[in-house]
Structure 1
Amino acid sequence: MLDRTPQNRLPNMPGVGYKAQHYTSIIADPAPVGWLEIHAENYMGDGGRPLAQLRHLAERFPVSVHGVGLSIGGEGPLDPAHLARLQHLCDWLQPASFSEHLAWSTHDSAFLNDLLPLPYTEATLARVADHIDQVQEVLGRTMLLENPSSYLAFDESTMSETDFLREVARRTGCGLLFDVNNVFVSAVNLGLDARGYIADFPLEKVGEIHLGGHDEDEDDHGRPLLIDSHGREVVDPVWALLDDVLARSGPRPVLIEWDTDVPDWPVLAAEARRAADALARVPA
């Protein structure tokens, strides 16, 4: 096996998902933000202002690359052209971390603009592990795999999500990205115990923690349905779950995700300060 860049070189500080409208504010006064995340697919071009700004930011901040288009859980092979573009980005940027979702978003030659869930079976496990091995070999670095937000459960699943992720990490050597809002969304939608999920999660494998906002809706039977939208502030119950995670895991890099209806910088910075306060409460 090839030597690989470690799965995470981010500081145990708050980070934010970078948006171009915040560039000037981040350069002028980034506090308390210590690192930035980008979506890989937004930076796979050959030049222009976005790449110029990213190069400048990378001189000042550790950068995490978060993929949304590999379709790690897809039944077909990984797209070699997409993987090559990702390799090119990581080769010149040398990010502090790379992550992807436990999801699928492709069918035959079609790409679906969504991150869809998987049944947790031995066949799925083998396929996901093979895809992760391929990504890690091509990139020459270990990656983090993110737990999904779920809106349904599969009858054919033969293991829990936490056991599935634990075994993926064991087989591939990858790390895990723990999205706290995804846990809360899944717990409400599926009637699960969020704190029980946290207690069973292999937190020793976690290299990065995500927080984001969600929208509230109802299903066809009038039951609460939460949508992982990343379009508003983090709610108090999710902040409480973060405290539980950090008490068990110790300090970790914590990211604020806000991808739609993006607010002005002071609003996003205030969310990052709240993450900094949560980290400050955790013994080193």
Structure 2
Amino acid sequence: MHSSIGIGLRPPHYQTLLAERPDIGWLEVHSENYFEPHSRAFHVLNQLAEHYPISLHGVGMSLGSSDPLDEVHLARLRALVTAIKPVRISEHLSWGSVDGRYFNDLLPMPYTRAALAQMSDKIKAVQDQLGRELLIENPSSYLQFAEGMPEWDFLAQLQQHSGCGLLLDLNNLYVSASNHGFSCMDYLAAIDLETVKEIHLAGFTDKALEQGHLYIDTHSCPVVEPVWALYRAICARRSIPTLVEWDLEIPALSVLIAEADKASQIAELAMARRQENHHV
């Protein structure tokens, strides 16, 4: 498998990964699940970090909220970063808290100038405290605010104002584009790929409603062909570390590795074609 291709580390696969150490480029974890240094999860991660590069993917910082940064949360993340020495650290273009009360979800942002300034300031503060670049992931969404700029413009300007990197989730992009009727290619055209430091691939659920179909980002099935097509388009331009996510109805590790192998084959073929074109 190409070294740029990774999978999400999930508890059902702990023992197999520890015992067999399969050929995987890297592993990604949800940061908050490993904050407790005396937990089994942290012990497993610490062992696996000796053999695989680790990426930390946060879900609880609520950077889009008007609440101030949670300094306790940030301190625990900083301790995890010091212990594990991850290759990348990421969070979401979303919010999840009001007045210190947290929701069990990544809620959509209003893409306004005020929200842009506020989130940019928070990202800069986090990067200053961690001494590391933070990657921000585009969300999947099921509603849009009536006012504000397009998400792709907001994300591009967020990167420019804060100096963060981007985590481009192609499944989220396809889900949101299908739900809201915008073009994936228009979105990608607005993003500077040089600022994209990681890609996510996953599967979604198609929910049939009276009004039509709603795509829900469940990470519970294989990657669909239209998302693979987006990935081929990205790989044709440059190589970017890529993760295959699977969070619900988690299959055997071999199934997840097969998805990662598919991503690896696409990435390697695209790299070979770019090299051929360079020498022509």
Cα deviations by residue, 1:155-178 (Å, 9 ceiling, x for unpaired): 111x22122111111111110000
CA distance in 2, matches of 1:220, 1:67: 35
Q: What is the CA distance between 1:196 and its match in structure 2? A: 2.1
Aligned partner of 1:161 in structure 2 is 151
Aligned partner of 2:205 in structure 1 is 215
- Pair 203,127 (structure 1): closer, same or farther in 2 beyond 3 Å: same
Aligned partner of 2:233 in structure 1 is 244
1:265 to 227, 246, 253: 253
Aligned partner of 2:118 in structure 1 is 127
The 8 Å contact of residues 162 and 202 in structure 1, kept in 2 or not, is answered as: no
Identical pairs, percent: 45
Confirm or deny that 1:79 pairs with 2:64.
Answer: no
Q: Which runs of 4+ in 1 moved over 2 A?
A: 23-32
Larger RCO, structures 1/2 (Cα 8 Å, 6+ apart): 1
Q: Which runs of 5+ in 1 are unaligned?
A: 1-10
Moved more, 168-177 or 191-200: 191-200
Confirm or deny that 1:194 pairs with 2:206.
Answer: no
Q: Which runs of 5+ in 2 are unaligned?
A: 276-280
CA distance in 1, matches of 2:83, 2:168: 27
The 8 Å contact of residues 61 and 69 in structure 2, kept in 1 or not, is answered as: yes
Aligned partner of 1:3 in structure 2 is none
CA RMSD of aligned residues (A): 1.5
Cα deviations by residue, 1:176-199 (Å, 9 ceiling, x for unpaired): 000000110011100111122222
Q: What is the CA distance between 1:109 and its match in structure 2? A: 2.0
Q: Which amino acid aligns with 1:110?
A: R
User: SS of 1:282's equivalent?
Assistant: helix
Number of residues of Structure 1 aligned to a counterpart in Structure 2 = 271
Cα deviations by residue, 1:12-53 (Å, 9 ceiling, x for unpaired): 521000012212332454544210001001001131321111
Q: Which amino acid aligns with 1:278?
A: I
TM-score of the two chains, using structure 2 as the length reference: 0.93
Aligned partner of 2:91 in structure 1 is 100
Confirm or deny that 1:175 pairs with 2:165.
Answer: yes
1:90 to 81, 86, 89: 81
TM-score of the two chains, using structure 1 as the length reference: 0.91
